[in-house]
Amino acid sequence: MREIVFDTETTGLNAGGGDRLVEIGCVELVNRVETGRVFHAYFNPERPMPPEAQAVHGLSDAFLADKPLFADVVDELLEFLGTDAKLVAHNAMFDFGFVDAELVRLKRLPLDRTRMIDTVAMARRMHPGAKHSLDALCTRYGIDRSHRVKHGALLDAELLAQLYVEMTGGRQIGLELGAQSATPDSSPMAAVGRAMADRKSFRPPRPHAATNEELARHGAFIASIKGALWDDRP
């Protein structure tokens, strides 16, 4: 199962009002394990960077001036995203909105919203009433974010990938519930899990039926109880 965890940085909050995408970072997961494949790009937004946005991510006009336009790398991005992998983002409507705005500007089809997984929506269901920011959830799940001084698309996607794995059960290698699949999982992590299971030693089940002596002692104890509720039964 292939999934892409991604994050974006922008010139502001309004994709429909002229704000533009300036950075995207994507991390590939296969069976909830990072493969090491990433996609990362900065973009020249063709408009000035507002000071309040620069304060968030630190990307200045001077830094972005020689970066490619979104149109220059759109094919590479879409190839990485593929056509059927789930797309995981934190407050996903925001990130989808900005990517879609850039795609539509180039007369490309927007992203398929059925591929969307929103970790904010997941967190609200799992932890109602708690804080659902990326920082707060990393703290809750014990994910080190000490190196996150400013927002950065690839850094935040890497943190979110760790968070997403934890929120969906963690990497429980070798834990198998129910019958084995008819088609064995051939992924590297599944092979590790099978090797761990092969090294386990299993004890035979202990007898659990009561002996005659235990039944007699239990009957005597029940008979010694005075005023028991079951004495009032018809």
At 42, give phi and psi (nearest 5°).
-100, 155
Which has the closest alpha carbon to 121: 100, 97, 94, 139?
A: 94
* Residue 73 domain flag: yes
Range of the domain at 71: 2-167
Task: Identify which of 162, 181, 182, 165 has the alpha carbon closest to the alpha carbon of residue 173.
Answer: 165
98 touches 9 (CB < 8 A): no
Query: Is it the case that residue 205 has pLDDT exceeding 80?
Result: no
Domain contains 200: no
Q: What is the pTM of this model?
A: 0.72
The region of weakest confidence among 76-85, 119-128, 176-185, 215-224 is: 176-185
CA distance 132 to 121: 9
Domain membership flag for residue 181? no
Q: Is the pLDDT of residue 148 over 90?
A: no
Tens-digit pLDDT profile for residues 150-191 = 788 999 999 999 999 999 987 654 344 443 444 455 555 555
Cβ pair 9, 153 in contact under 8 A: yes
Annotated binding site for a divalent metal cation: 7, 9, 156
Residue positions annotated with a catalytic role: 151
Distance CA 147, CA 145 (A): 5
Asked whether residue 87 is assigned to any structural domain, the reply reads yes
Query: Is residue 159 a contact partner of residue 140, using CB atoms and an 8 Å limit?
Result: no
Q: Label each residue of 76-134 as H, E or C.
A: HHHHHHCCCCEEEECCHHHHHHHHHHHHHHCCCCCCCHHHEEEHHHHHHHHCCCCCCCH
Residue at 22 is within a domain: yes
Residue 203 counted as domain residue: no
Instruction: Work out the average pLDDT over 41-66.
Output: 97
- 25 found inside a domain: yes
Report the domain count for the chain.
Answer: 1
Helix (H, G, I), strand (E, B) or coil at 5: strand
Least confident of 21-30, 98-107, 178-187, 210-219: 178-187
Cβ(123)–Cβ(132) under 8 Å? yes
CATH number at residue 160: 3.30.420.10
Annotated binding-site ranges: 7, 9, 52, 57, 156
pLDDT-derived band at 210, boundaries 50, 70, 90: confident
Extract the tokens encoding 194.
Answer: 């099978």
Which residues define the annotated binding site for substrate?
7, 9, 52, 57, 156
Average pLDDT, the chain: 86
29: three-class secondary structure by DSSP:
strand
